[in-house]
Amino acid sequence: MSQKNELTHDAPKLTLVDRIDIIKNHRLFPVIFPLSMLVVIFLIFIVLTGGRFADTRVLTGVFNQSLIVATMATAVAFIYSTGNIDISVGNVMGLAACLGALAYQVTQSMTVMIVVTMAVGIVLMMFNCVLGLVFNVKSAMVAIVAMSVYGAITSVLVGAEPIGVDFKACKVLEGNFRYIAFVLYFVVCLLAFSRTAIGRKLRFIGGNENCAEQTGINRKKAIATSYIFAGIGVGLAGVFQVLRTGNVAQTIGSGMGMDVMLATVLGGMSIFGGAKSNTFAGFVGAVTVTVLNTGLLMIGVPSTLIQGFRGVFFLILVFLNSERQKTLPSRQQF
Amino acid sequence: MGNVLSKDRLLGIVKTVAVPAVVWILMELICRTQAGTSVVANSADVRTFFRNMVSTVAFALAISTNLNCGRMDLSLGAQMYVGTIFGGNIALALNLGGVGVLVLAMLIGGLCGLICGIVFVNLRILPMVLGLGMTLLFECICFSINNQQGVILYGKPGVEILSNSTFIIFVVIALVAVAALLFKYSRFGYRYRAIQGSQKLASDAGINIFSNCVFCYLFGGILVACAGVFTTMYSGSLAPVLGMSSNGYVFRNMFPMVLGAWIGSFSHNAQFGVAMGAICVNLLTLAMSKLGLPLNVQNVLVYSLFLLFIIYNTNKRKFAYNRAKRARIALAKQTKAARQPA
Amino acid sequence: MKKLLTILLSLMIVIGLAACNNSGSTPSGEGDVSGKSYKIGVVEVMLNDESVIRSKYFKEYIGPKYNVEFMFSEACTDLDSVMKFIENAAVSGCDAILNYYAVGANSEQLALLCQEKGMILVENGGRNAANEEAYKNYTDTYAGGFMADQPDTGRLFREYLEANLDPTVEHNFIVGTGGAYQGNAQQTEISINMLTALQDVYGLKYDKTIQELIESSSPIEATNDKGIAIYCYPGHATAEGWLPGLSAALQTGTYDYVLMSGNVIGNIGTVISEAEAVLNKDITVVGFGSFGDALSNAMHTLDQFGNPTVSMSTVKFTTLVSAMGFAKAYNALTGHNEVNIDTDGAAFTHLFRMNAVTSAAELDEMGSWDKDNDSWVADYSVVDSFLAEKTPGLTAQQFQENIYAVNYESIKARMQ
């Protein structure tokens, strides 16, 4: 007994900071923390709106509004986990949706529209991937170029009037089809990322690329797989976008790449990838952003200030969620 | 040895200057044959060219300041808006003239950079992520505080100097010289390059990596505000924006920065290289304007060239290796053929 | 330091939220319209001078008097963001939506969405082939549109050109078609007006249709039987390469008139004056502007020939246009939707007339209006004349007449 006391006595005492660090280093922290923050924000808005925020209409609205960004954020988690960045996903989605809508105008078939949008999404993401893998161009650079080029092509293709898709037909598919497709994609991503070798390889590459290659992982193949998963998600988001709006305008997807990155990071994912990556983050982040937007609007925050509040919330949540390094975080991503 | 060195240096400088010269000749030929005019046809063109060049040089230098240390600052565009709008309006209210506008804008831009740097070294969240958050904040501040009003420079008394070609050239030279002195020959620069090599080693060697970083952000803020003033002088006014649209400035100045880094490698002077890169890209855009190309086509062309350049730049060693290999094989074949009896 | 920063950031949120929670534009109950209070969501497409005036006018002037609370969107630049705002407005208790992001192809869908949410929809736009369904089949919730009287705007340009153009001297034109190629309703209409005015003044015939000319995303020569050079130049001043493109066109020395459909008056001054200096040629700028520093600056700044940078600009009174939209929504909410219905049973589009400003003095006079509660162009008497509840027996046509009655002369008389 006395020996045990002696041992305890000799052990260094844990300070509050140490204890916080231990909690923050827990493997489930990146998942639980953003989720708890979401719940806290949600509860705050329920109080501030006198309970109106808990209305089922609000909840359904939040889910519906988050769906497109959530799908894309889930998709890019595969890319981010390897330490690569792609901020062109918004414009890829836009061009995919544009070509899908054009295909619909030619064939008047929703099936064709869905197939074309998905296919274009995958092809464009693979094109970005090829530029990176074959020509060794940093993914962020590829994304900057792709953003502008895809955006310009979409603008030319759309022209003065939005490309219309029968929105009544869209409405039929909008509800259940969207929910089922998203849940299916989300579950597949979740399983592939956390329960299969695909996810393990991607996280390993993100953690240490050289080490991963030394252990026999085919880096190029793994990264290509990540882009295929992302392409499917981006294509699916394009389909969701067409189904929701019933037409494709010139501005489709512009700026959405940044929204996706914001959501992903807010959900607890590091853009440097690695072992703590997860596909869950995108969904949580997208919902958090939507909850913030809706909640702030409902409590009467002027529209011009909403962005500022979003920025402050974002910085605080990211700070609380990230591991504080002894040196400054940096990485040559360009 | 000294002669060899100076010869190398001279060759480097010639190569550095030759790149924009080649671009100019190429653009001149295209414009003359396709549009029947010169790229730079008159004094208005000269002013337009210089004004755009100083903006590009300043912005590209600002991006490179942090990017070379692995920090991508996405809030530079928003800092430009805050600096130019607030600095410009204060200077105009105080009747400080064009130089006053420039100086105050740079001061406020620097303040934004300083805030960004302090937040970064204290929160230590990823630079790109911090950039997103700060962009949201700066854009909101810029938009809300001044009742959504921007800054108008056109027609304001005393600001004509900002359109004066001699003054603009002086500013370009000053910017490049200060940046070169800072990053190449000052104590800050030595430390900066040590940190560039290895942050951990530099820190262990006693270099204060945090103050160095804050200074980089500060310098970046000053430079983008300078870019903002000349951009506004050309467009007449600058209105605040929301929705992270200020990021566009960062992306569009990546090409001159990357190109400049490559050109600068000839003369071992990145800052001079950035100036040359800015000249190349501005000649290209000016030529496309002369040709009357649609804006979308201009976008596609510029970014496609950017992509081709990055592909070349990333793989140049591979290309050189393959060239050397081919030469070796050819030589071997030649030798073999020569040794074979007739 | 990091703790201090976190605390500071957190404090900013808490104080901000607390302040905002109390700063809503809830009606004070001092209004003289008895009964129910309403909430209207306003979809803004750009946050600029106009939206600032509108927000102030609605919140401080209209809200308290008519028991109406207003909720404003962020800048909505696509249909998805408009839909999100409408959904959020619905759960926030809005009864009507005033949509300034009006694209014909979206109207039916938005009308359906508002119908599902039990809200009234009013749009800043007019009836066209793309939104015919909304105008005809959703009249219970779609209260129609409000927009500028386009033929009248065309008249303003025509009259100005007729009065200032010497037919014996050769003139050539750059027509900035702005976002017409992207479907921007206002810039489409103004571009059409400008090209039509040139057609009327010179009696010329374009080789292509005006629609083809304005929908081109590339710069295009509007070739015609009279050989007058008319260069249609699309795009926005904020787009990279737009200003150098305009500068390049001007420096060819061909053009001496610049007609701009977009609100770019604040952006083209430098390019114009530099081209004038190089070519030693007076370039006349005619365009569309809004009251504010940019237009005022352009009207007061003289070029080297002693002319103002902008010679003529069409302008609108923000509160008059805003009052029209409000009145349409309010009439529908108070059970007077008949005021929004045309004789053919479809929703009615109410029109306002723009004004032409040709001198700094004129602008200074008009510019002093629409500033605050003492100078709103659409004061209570004007708004009341748009409301069926206040003007018994009001019809859609009378509503229209009452709008037209608010003109330069009547406003001037009232302000004096």
Per-residue pLDDT of chain B (342 residues; tens, 9 = 90+): 455 567 888 888 899 999 999 999 999 999 999 988 888 888 888 888 999 999 999 999 999 999 988 899 999 999 999 999 999 999 999 999 999 999 999 999 999 999 999 999 998 888 999 999 999 999 999 988 877 788 999 888 889 899 888 999 999 999 999 999 999 889 999 999 999 888 889 989 999 999 999 999 999 999 999 999 999 999 999 989 888 889 999 999 999 999 999 999 998 888 999 999 999 999 999 999 889 888 889 989 999 999 999 999 999 888 889 999 999 999 999 999 988 876
Residue at C133: amino acid letter: E
Contacts of A65 in chain C (CB under 8 A): 84, 87
Residue that is written with structure tokens 């002013």 in the block: B47
CA distance B194 to chain C (A): 26
Which of B242, B295, B299 should be substituted to probe chain C, the one whose Cβ sees the most C Cβ atoms within 10 Å? B295
C-alpha pair distances (Å), C308 with each of A84, C162, C276: 54, 19, 13
Contacts of A332 in chain B (CB under 8 A): 70
Cross-chain CB nearest to C2 (options B47, B122, B298)? B122
Chain B residue whose CA is closest to A333: B70
Query: In this complex, is the C-beta atom of B55 within 8 Å of any C-beta atom belonging to chain C?
Result: no
> In a 3-state reduction of DSSP, which class is residue C239?
coil
Cross-chain CB nearest to C78 (options A164, A171, A251)? A251
- The interface pTM score, or ipTM, of the predicted complex is 0.86
| CATH fold match for the domains C33-149+318-358+381-415 and C170-288 | yes
Tokens of C194: 């400008």
Which of A41, A260, A303 should be substituted to probe chain C, the one whose Cβ sees the most C Cβ atoms within 10 Å? A303
By the 8 A CB rule, do A286 and A233 touch? no
By the 8 A CB rule, do C61 and C329 touch? no
What residues 7-66 of chain B have any CB closer than 8 A to a CB of chain A?
none
Residue at B100: amino acid letter: G
Residue at A81: amino acid letter: S
Beta-carbon separation of A85 and B124 below 8 A? no
Chain A residue whose CA is closest to C181: A160
> In a 3-state reduction of DSSP, which class is residue B83?
helix
Contacts of C239 in chain B (CB under 8 A): 295
Task: Say how many domains are in chain B.
Answer: 1
CATH code for the domain defined by C170-288: 3.40.50
Domain of B278?
A: 2-315
Beta-carbon separation of A145 and B213 below 8 A? no
Beta-carbon separation of B300 and A310 below 8 A? no
- Per-residue pLDDT band at C52 (split at 50, 70, 90): confident
CA dist A240 and B176 (Å) reads 49
Query: In this complex, is the C-beta atom of B138 within 8 Å of any C-beta atom belonging to chain C?
Result: no
Cross-chain CB nearest to A159 (options C74, C92, C215)? C215
Q: What average pLDDT does this structure show over A165-175?
A: 83
Q: What is the pLDDT of residues C183-234, one digit of tens each?
A: 777 788 889 988 998 988 888 899 999 999 998 888 999 999 988 999 999 9
Q: What average pLDDT does this structure show over C292-305?
A: 86
Looking at residue C206, the DSSP 8-state letter turns out to be B
Contacts of C217 in chain B (CB under 8 A): 294-296
Domain limits, chain C: 33-149+318-358+381-415, 170-288
Q: How far apart are the first and last CA of chain A?
A: 59
Tokens of B6: 């100076």
CA dist B158 and B102 (Å) reads 12
Contacts of B214 in chain A (CB under 8 A): none
CA dist C111 and C142 (Å) reads 6
Cross-chain CB nearest to A145 (options B127, B247, B306)? B306
What residues 203-242 of chain B have any CB closer than 8 A to a CB of chain A?
203, 209-210, 213, 242
Query: In this complex, is the C-beta atom of C249 within 8 Å of any C-beta atom belonging to chain A?
Result: no
Q: What is the pLDDT of residues C318-371, one digit of tens each?
A: 999 999 999 999 999 999 999 999 988 999 999 999 999 999 998 888 888 888
Chain A residue whose CA is closest to C83: A245
**Residue A209 CB burial class (10 angstroms; 0-12, 13-18, ≥19):** middle
The reply to whether B323 falls in a domain is: no
Q: Is a pLDDT exceeding 70 seen at residue C2?
A: no
Beta-carbon separation of C298 and B155 below 8 A? yes
Angle formed at CA A152 by CA A149 and CA A155, multiple of 5 degrees: 150
Contacts of C93 in chain A (CB under 8 A): 52
Query: In this complex, is the C-beta atom of B312 within 8 Å of any C-beta atom belonging to chain A?
Result: no
Q: Is a pLDDT exceeding 70 seen at residue A215?
A: yes
Query: In this complex, is the C-beta atom of B320 within 8 Å of any C-beta atom belonging to chain A?
Result: no
Q: Is a pLDDT exceeding 80 seen at residue C34?
A: no
CA dist C204 and B184 (Å) reads 65
Axis-axis angle for helices A56-81, A176-195 (nearest 10): 40
Contacts of A303 in chain C (CB under 8 A): 44, 47, 72-74
Chains touching chain C, criterion 3+ CB pairs below 8 Å: A, B
Residue C302 φ/ψ, nearest 5 degrees: -95, 145
Beta-carbon separation of A249 and C72 below 8 A? no
Angle formed at CA A73 by CA A248 and CA B60, multiple of 5 degrees: 85
Tokens of B62: 């600002």
Which of B135, B302, B307, B312 should be substituted to probe chain A, the one whose Cβ sees the most A Cβ atoms within 10 Å? B307
CA distance A183 to chain B (A): 28
Contacts of B37 in chain C (CB under 8 A): 252
The reply to whether B338 falls in a domain is: no
Q: What is the pLDDT of residues A33-44, one digit of tens each?
A: 999 999 999 999
Q: Which residues of B317-339 are buried (b: 16+ CB within 10 A; e: fewer)?
A: eeeeeeeeeeeeeeeeeeeeeee
By the 8 A CB rule, do B215 and B117 touch? yes
Question: Measured in whole angstroms, how far is the alpha carbon of residue C324 from the centre of its chain?
Answer: 12
Beta-carbon separation of B128 and A271 below 8 A? yes
Cross-chain CB nearest to B314 (options A136, A148, A312)? A136
Beta-carbon separation of C13 and A161 below 8 A? no
Percentages helix, strand, coil for chain C (3-state, rounded to 5) are 50, 15, 35
Question: Measured in whole angstroms, how far is the alpha carbon of residue A89 from the centre of its chain?
Answer: 10
Q: What is the pLDDT of residues B258-270, one digit of tens each?
A: 999 999 999 888 8
Mean pLDDT of chain C: 87
Query: In this complex, is the C-beta atom of C90 within 8 Å of any C-beta atom belonging to chain A?
Result: yes
Query: In this complex, is the C-beta atom of A47 within 8 Å of any C-beta atom belonging to chain B?
Result: no
What residues 243-262 of chain B have any CB closer than 8 A to a CB of chain A?
243-245, 247, 251, 254, 258
> Could you give all domains of chain A from N- to C-terminal order, each with its CATH number?
63-321 (1.10.3470)
Query: In this complex, is the C-beta atom of C206 within 8 Å of any C-beta atom belonging to chain A?
Result: no
Cross-chain CB nearest to C183 (options A162, A171, A312)? A162
Beta-carbon separation of B234 and C2 below 8 A? no
Beta-carbon separation of A68 and C80 below 8 A? yes
- Per-residue pLDDT band at C24 (split at 50, 70, 90): very low
Contacts of B295 in chain C (CB under 8 A): 217, 235, 239-242, 245
**Residue A130 CB burial class (10 angstroms; 0-12, 13-18, ≥19):** middle
Q: What is the pLDDT of residues B4-49, one digit of tens each?
A: 567 888 888 899 999 999 999 999 999 999 988 888 888 888 888 9
Query: In this complex, is the C-beta atom of C91 within 8 Å of any C-beta atom belonging to chain A?
Result: yes
Beta-carbon separation of B44 and C278 below 8 A? yes
CA distance B308 to chain C (A): 21
Query: In this complex, is the C-beta atom of B288 within 8 Å of any C-beta atom belonging to chain C?
Result: yes
Contacts of B247 in chain A (CB under 8 A): 258
**Res C131: pLDDT:** 86
Tokens of A235: 């294509």
Contacts of B245 in chain A (CB under 8 A): 255
- For residue B207, what is the domain's CATH number? 1.10.3470.10
CA distance A260 to chain B (A): 11
Query: In this complex, is the C-beta atom of A305 within 8 Å of any C-beta atom belonging to chain B?
Result: yes
Q: What is the pLDDT of residues C249-287, one digit of tens each?
A: 998 889 999 999 888 888 898 899 989 988 999 999 998
CATH code for the domain defined by C33-149+318-358+381-415: 3.40.50.2300
Question: Measured in whole angstroms, how far is the alpha carbon of residue C368 from the centre of its chain?
Answer: 19
